[in-house]
Structure 1
Amino acid sequence: MEQLITTIAKAIVDHPDEVKVNREEKKGEIVYTLSVHQDDIGKVIGKQGRIAKAIRTVVYAAASGKSMRVTLKIND
């Protein structure tokens, strides 16, 4: 899942070497936090959050067979 998020984010941003995905497990939930270069935040979020929503949709679809809930956060 981390590789999927990283691949999508690197294709969008201008500074792909600064894309980082952190994974944290909590009770019954896995939280992935996406961090990008400050100049690329707008590209990852998109107009009215459309890009961020699309990334979340892909991640949720990929995690649909998992027994744990998956959440994606995007750091500002």
Structure 2
Amino acid sequence: MTETNIETLIRDLVTPLLKHPAALTISQEDGGRYHQYIVNVAQEDVGRLIGRQGHVAAALRTVVEGARSRRSNSKKVRLLINDHRH
């Protein structure tokens, strides 16, 4: 089985949801237990990406986590959406 490129998967899942897909950036940080992907979008697209009560964000996280390698030493994947509040 081939290794899934998580960043490409995130980009393919998120882009159709956005009104301003050119503003999409994805950065990766490797923490102790996680491969952390931070998704930045235009401020007016944040709500579309999170969804009502976080349903869209939860679905994205489920798909991304399900696509990671199942090797015993593989780190978990964490997907963060920058909501421009900080």
**Residue 72 of structure 1 aligns with which residue?**
79
Structure number having the greater helix percentage: 1
SS in 2 for 1:30: strand
Q: CA RMSD in A?
A: 1.1
Give the number of the structure whose alpha-carbon radius of gyration is greater: 2
Q: Distance in 2 between matches of 1:33 and 1:3?
A: 13
- TM-fit CA distance, 1:72: 0.5
**Residue 62 of structure 1 aligns with which residue?**
67
| 2:10 aligned to which of 5, 26, 42 | 5
Structure number having the greater strand percentage: 1
Q: How many residues end up aligned between the 2 structures?
A: 76
SS in 1 for 2:70: coil
What is the one-letter code of the residue matched to 2:65? Y
4+ runs of 1 displaced by more than 3 Å? none
SS in 2 for 1:11: helix
Structure 1 unpaired stretches of 5+: none
Q: TM-score, normalised to structure 1's length?
A: 0.94
